[in-house]
Amino acid sequence: MMRILATAVIFSLLIGGTALPASAQIECGASMSNKANVTPNAKCLVEKASLTNAPAGTNAAKAAASNPLTSVTRSQAFVANYRKATTKGSPTLILLHGSGGNETSLMDLAAKVAPGSALLGIRGRVVQDGINRWYKRVTPTTFDQDDIRSEANAFAKFMTTAQKDYGIDLNNAIYLGYSNGANLLAALSFLHPDLVQRAALLRPMMVLKTLPDVNLAKDSILAVAGKNDATYGSFAPGLADALRGKGAEVVGKTVELGHLLGDADVSAVKTWLTSLQEENELPVATASAAAE
């Protein structure tokens, strides 16, 4: 009976679009594996669904709202995975995973979004209760402000080195982040405005409580929320408004999905990239790099 229930819950979470590999989809609790291409167990999905959909005032709802994670370790360096472009003139996509993901989690999605482009996947340095993250969280929707700034600074320093190590032209780069990774990118937009100027943010929310006085008039941002994302979906418009308030050009889109990623996200990002090319903000890829 429990197996049937678990299957039903997983199916209900995935409907609304063709789902991408689990390593690129799921943000769960401490039971999620950190290994690439490993599907989280059904218990993890069932537990998350029951908590985030629990009626207000119940013990389950309180647990979802106040679920602090306590065990934190931090790597000295970022782990990265770089895949060279196979198409001349294509942009480099810089990928930031969601909670529990790693440097390869968004590779499949990125390859669909921009075939032939160079891909740089990066792993967050923080491990909180066994889960890879970009900064420490306090509850599912509140975060350690000092840690956000500290990790944003560390990431900006890493990118200074990475662009030399991998030969990346940051003026011809697109950042793509999912959930926790999207949130760090949004924070970087405010804290290091010269670093992130084009970014696709999938299932984002505002994580900074105070914003610096910056001009984001050069920024082009795509923010994609999930219509059925019960926990985080309602936060995306506030982030979009904050970015616009600093001068950024923001395209906001809602897809018929929950917090998981699917084909609708691929379509949304591809459409946005095409619009950037039409506005001459990105070059148009012309030939196979292997043919040179």
Over its length of 292 residues, how does the chain's per-residue pLDDT go in tens digits?
444 434 333 333 333 344 443 333 334 332 223 333 323 333 233 223 333 344 455 554 454 455 544 789 999 999 999 999 999 888 999 999 999 999 999 999 999 999 999 999 999 999 999 999 999 999 999 999 999 999 999 999 999 999 999 999 998 899 999 999 999 999 999 999 999 999 999 999 999 999 999 999 999 999 999 999 999 999 999 999 999 999 999 999 999 999 999 999 999 999 999 999 988 777 666 555 544 4
Domain around 210: 72-285
How many angstroms separate the Cα of 191 from the Cα of each of 58, 61, 124, 174, 246? 38, 33, 17, 18, 12
Asked if residue 33 is part of any domain, the answer here is no
Asked if residue 27 is part of any domain, the answer here is no
Asked if residue 55 is part of any domain, the answer here is no
pLDDT at 5: 39
Q: How far apart are alpha carbons 199 and 243 in whole angstroms?
A: 12
pTM of the model: 0.77
Q: How far apart are alpha carbons 234 and 127 in whole angstroms?
A: 27
Residue 73 makes CB contacts below 8 A (sequence gap 6+) with 126, 127
Asked if residue 255 is part of any domain, the answer here is yes
Q: How far apart are alpha carbons 195 and 75 in whole angstroms?
A: 22
Buried b (16+ CB within 10 A) or exposed e, 49-72: bebbebeeeeeeeeebbeeebeee
Domain of residue 234, CATH code: 3.40.50.1820
Report the domain count for the chain: 1
pLDDT at 223: 98
Asked if residues 170 and 195 have their Cβ atoms less than 8 Å apart, the reply is: yes
Any idea of the CA torsion for 258, 56, 184, 267, to the nearest 10 degrees? 10
Asked if residue 105 is part of any domain, the answer here is yes
pLDDT at 280: 76
How many angstroms separate the Cα of 248 from the Cα of each of 136, 181, 198, 242, 253? 27, 19, 10, 9, 16
Pairing of strands 173-178, 92-96: parallel
> Across-strand partners of 198?
220
Query: Residue 74: enclosing H or E segment and its boundaries?
Result: strand 72-74
Structural tokens at position 189: 């937009």
Asked if residue 212 is part of any domain, the answer here is yes
How many angstroms separate the Cα of 183 from the Cα of each of 29, 53, 142, 188, 207? 18, 23, 12, 9, 7
Asked if residue 265 is part of any domain, the answer here is yes
Asked if residue 24 is part of any domain, the answer here is no
